[in-house]
Amino acid sequence: MKIISNPLELKEYLKDIDKSVGFVPTMGALHEGHLSLIKKARKENELVVVSIFVNPTQFLKGEDLDKYPRKDEADKKICLLAGVDVLFFPHKKDIYGDDEAKIEAPNVRGYVLEGATRVGHFSGVLTVVMKLLNIVSPTRAYFGKKDAQQLNLIGLMVKQFFMSVEIVAVDTLRESDGLAMSSRNIYLSSEQRVEALKISLSLQKAFGMVNQNILDVSKIKEQMRTVLEPLEVSYVEVLNRDFAPIESIELKNSIILVEAKVGDTRLLDNIWL
C-alpha cells in the first residue's frame, strides 16, 4: 500500500494508470461502516484509493474539530488489511491555501435538515469533495447512505458540474443492536449508548407502521417523536429521493431521516423505503 500526502504526487502517480479507480473519502477513525465502502470499491475496481482527511471547513466554530477522533496508525493497518492500494493522507496545508475558491451548497437543499443547524457545513463538504475528486479522478466514488443529505448534495454537484465520476451509494452498517456505526459513537458514555438506541428504534417503529400500510407521514413522525423522547431532536423528516418533503410514504421513493443529540453528540440515521 502506498501512502501519499501530497496531492500533486498522487495525481502524478495515478496519471498513467490505465485501470478503473474506486475512491473512498473518509475522515478516518475507520470502523466497519467505512470498511463496507472499501470492500465494495475493492470488488468493483482494479485500484482502490482511500483518503483520510478531517476537513476543517465542514466544522462550524465550537464543533468537535479539535477532538474529532484520530487513529492514524490503526487506520493505516485497516486499509492495508482491506487491500487498499493507495492511502491519501494529506495535511491541511496540502488541501487549503489562504485565499480560497469554494463550492457553495445549493440554497435550499444545503440549508435544510443538518444544513439548517450547521450553516455552511455542506459548502465545506462539497468544496473538499470537489478537491478530492479532482485530485483522484476516480471511475467511481463511494459514499454512505447514512449521510443521506451529504450523498444527495454530492450527487447533485456531480450532475450540475458535469463531472464524470460515478457516485455509488452504500447501505448503512449497524451495530448488532441497531445503532448506526459512526466515528462519533466513541463520544457516548455507556448510559448514552443505551439512549442512542432510541434513534434506530424510532426508524424501526416507522418501518413497522409502513409495513402495516400506515403511510401518513404526520402519523409516522408523531410516533417516532414519542419513541425518541426525551432526546433533543433536531429533526424527523420524510422526503422523497429528490429530497422534497412528502405527505404520504411513496414506496421505493422515500427516506425517513432523524437527527438527535445524545449528550453533546449529534447522531444521524435514516432508512430508505
Rounded least distance, CB 95 to ligand AMP, Å:
15
Rounded least distance, CB 78 to ligand AMP, Å:
12
Give 235's strand partners. Answer: 259
133 contacts ligand AMP (rule: CB under 6 A): no
Rounded least distance, CB 257 to ligand AMP, Å:
13
Measured distance CA(69)–CA(212) in Å, rounded: 41
Which residues ranging from 5 to 64 are in contact with ligand AMP (CB under 6 A)? 26-27, 33-34, 36-37
Measured distance CA(170)–CA(168) in Å, rounded: 6
| Residue with Cβ nearer ligand AMP (172 or 202) | 172
The pairing of strands 232-240 and 254-262 is: antiparallel
Which residue in the block uniquely carries the three cell numbers 412528502? 246
Alpha helices in 212-242 (DSSP H): 217-228
Can you tell me which of 180, 196, 227, 257 binds ligand AMP, judged by CB under 6 A?
A: 180
118 contacts ligand AMP (rule: CB under 6 A): no
Q: What is the helix (H) or strand (E) element at residue 88, kind and residue range? A: strand 86-88
Other beta carbons within 10 angstroms of residue 185's beta carbon come to 19
Contact segment (CB under 6 A) with ligand AMP among 70-78, 174-182, 188-196, 226-234 equals 174-182
Which residue in the block uniquely carries the three cell numbers 492514524? 72
| Residue with Cβ nearer ligand AMP (170 or 227) | 170
Number of residues located near ligand AMP, criterion CB under 6 A: 17
Q: For this structure, is 91 an active site residue?
A: no
| CA 70, 24, 257, 152 torsion-angle sign | positive
Are 135 and 94 contacting, i.e. CB atoms less than 8 angstroms apart? no
183 contacts ligand AMP (rule: CB under 6 A): yes
Q: Which candidate in 31, 34, 91, 121 is catalytic?
A: 34
Measured distance CA(150)–CA(125) in Å, rounded: 8
65 contacts ligand AMP (rule: CB under 6 A): no
Residues taking part in catalysis:
34
- Residues found near ligand AMP in the complex (CB under 6 A): 26-27, 33-34, 36-37, 143-144, 146-147, 170, 172-173, 180-183
